[in-house]
Chains A and B, each alone.
Chain A
Amino acid sequence: MNCRELINLLADYLDGSMDPELREELERHISMCEPCMNFLRTYDRTRIITRQVRIEEIPEEFRSRLKSFLLKKIREGRGAVDRYTSPQKGEGEE
């Protein structure tokens, strides 16, 4: 396995879907090749911090705005027919 082949296998290596023999070969290469070791470390770190992009503040008033938008649309869709159910008790058993 050369460096190019190894780099192409990094995703499989990190998600654990690689077969054990290939894994061993990859680890053997990495233990003897500093560039690949550094590449793996930075590739993995990139993958991990990407997850943190998600923590984004969501405007809280957006939730209520979304609810009123949907309920208004739904009620309009029903036309004159009143089928309002109270939010807490509309789910009672038959």
Chain B
Amino acid sequence: MSENVVVDDERIIEGLSEGQEWAVEALVDKYYGRIYNLAMSILRNESDAEEITQDVFMTVYEKIGSFKGDSALYSWMYRICVNACLMRLRSRKRTDAVSIEEFMPVFTEEGKHASQVQDWSPEVERRVLNKELGEVLRKFIGELPDKYRVVLVLSDVEGLSNEETAHILGLSIPAVKSRLHRARLYLRGRLEKYLTEGKLDS
């Protein structure tokens, strides 16, 4: 990712606990992209994401003594980052939180699809390099209620396993799975409306 040499986590941790400045720099080189991206995905605001990223690295430096090696360093950092983001969100008054129910699939009493389901996946494929689709998708992710968004970001944006996501958020695996599924259903429903009706608003 960068031209700098990537240093082993173990050495970075050792260096940090000795208060070595090179370790702080190595930590930044190795993880600032991931942490910034994560904060950006959750907060959708550049200056907030930058501030949170600073807080995360400062916390890691100060709390390195309490880091237990039972999980990976990035997983611990993700946890610190997610908590910081959630705190920031709570202090923000959100006016744009949506009800995700409107975009859940609807079934008949016998459990069949209540309306036609079209396959618009080739259309997504066709637009995959299109900048607009990415923007639209970010907007939709931003609309999700926080508890769904953090799970979706860790699992589908960051690509973590259900186990890792559960660990980072302090949730059970079934809770992660169900939130992830509902978040995906929301995005799917949102995209469907956008692609088939050209509608951006819910």
Chain A contacts to B: CB under 8 angstroms: 2-5, 7-8, 10-12, 15, 17, 34-39, 41-47, 49-54, 56, 58, 62-63, 66-67, 69-71, 73-74, 78, 83-88, 90-91
Contact = CB atoms under 8 A, between A and B. Distances in A.
B65 interface: no
A51 B180 contact: no
A42 B61 contact: no
B111 A88 contact: no
B17 interface: no
B157 A91 contact: no
Q: 9 nearest interchain CB pairs?
A: A2-B111, A4-B111, A45-B121, A35-B117, A38-B119, A50-B156, A35-B113, A4-B107, A46-B188
Contact of A70 (B57, B107, B116, B125): B57
Interface in B19-70: 19-22, 24-25, 28-29, 32-33, 36-37, 40-41, 50, 53-54, 57-58, 61
B112 A67 contact: no
Contacts of B121: 41-42, 44-45
A15 B61 CA distance: 35
Contact of A50 (B19, B61, B125, B187): B187
Interface stretch (B77-85, B94-102, B132-140): B132-140
A39 B117 CA distance: 6
Interface residues of B, number: 58
Contacts of B184: 11, 43, 46-47, 50
A64 to B, nearest CB: 9
B125 A62 contact: no
B119 A88 contact: no
Contacts of A52: 128, 134, 137
Nearest to A65: B50
Contacts of A36: 113, 117
Contacts of B156: 47, 50-51
A54 B1 CA distance: 14
B28 A66 contact: yes
A11 B181 contact: yes
A34 B124 CA distance: 19
A4 B22 CA distance: 55
A50 B119 contact: no
Given A7-B105, A62-B50, A70 B120 contact: no
B150 interface: no
